[in-house]
Amino acid sequence: MGDDAPRPVRVRVVLGEAAVRGPAPDPARAELVEGTPIGEALVNGLVRAQLALAVRLSLVVAAGLGALPLLFAVAPGVARVKVLGINLPWLLLGVLAYPFLVLVGWAYVRWAERNEQDFTAVIRRPDA
């Protein structure tokens, strides 16, 4: 029982190199991370698209809600119309304005997400 033969040295095999090695780096993402002029141009394009969307929908809200008091001032007869016993100005500005704002908010979120998806598609697009 007294084997004097040397025992083999145990070697631990680690797959760390395989885990560290990931997919090939994406040049467009590298542009964003490193803050190069190309990456800045991509981000500025997204910001401009989001700003343009916000300005357009703000104009829709301003025109939609701002035109009502103007209408009532120009045509006082419209301001005296009653619907279900409620004056039309109260109905439009006090009740129906909120669903309009919710609809515009929903549209903004949907279109802003579409802008972000388009941006992501540009970043993930394989080089042709």
Handedness of CA 85, 91, 96, 98 (dihedral sign): negative
Q: How far apart are CA 56 and CA 54, in angstroms?
A: 6
pLDDT of 29 reads 65
pLDDT of 33 reads 65
pLDDT of 107 reads 95
pLDDT of 8 reads 82
pLDDT of 93 reads 80
pLDDT of 75 reads 80
pLDDT of 74 reads 83
pLDDT of 50 reads 93
Consecutive 10-residue runs of the chain (128 residues): their mean pLDDT?
Answer: 75 63 60 71 88 95 88 79 77 84 95 90 69
CA 125 to chain centre: 19
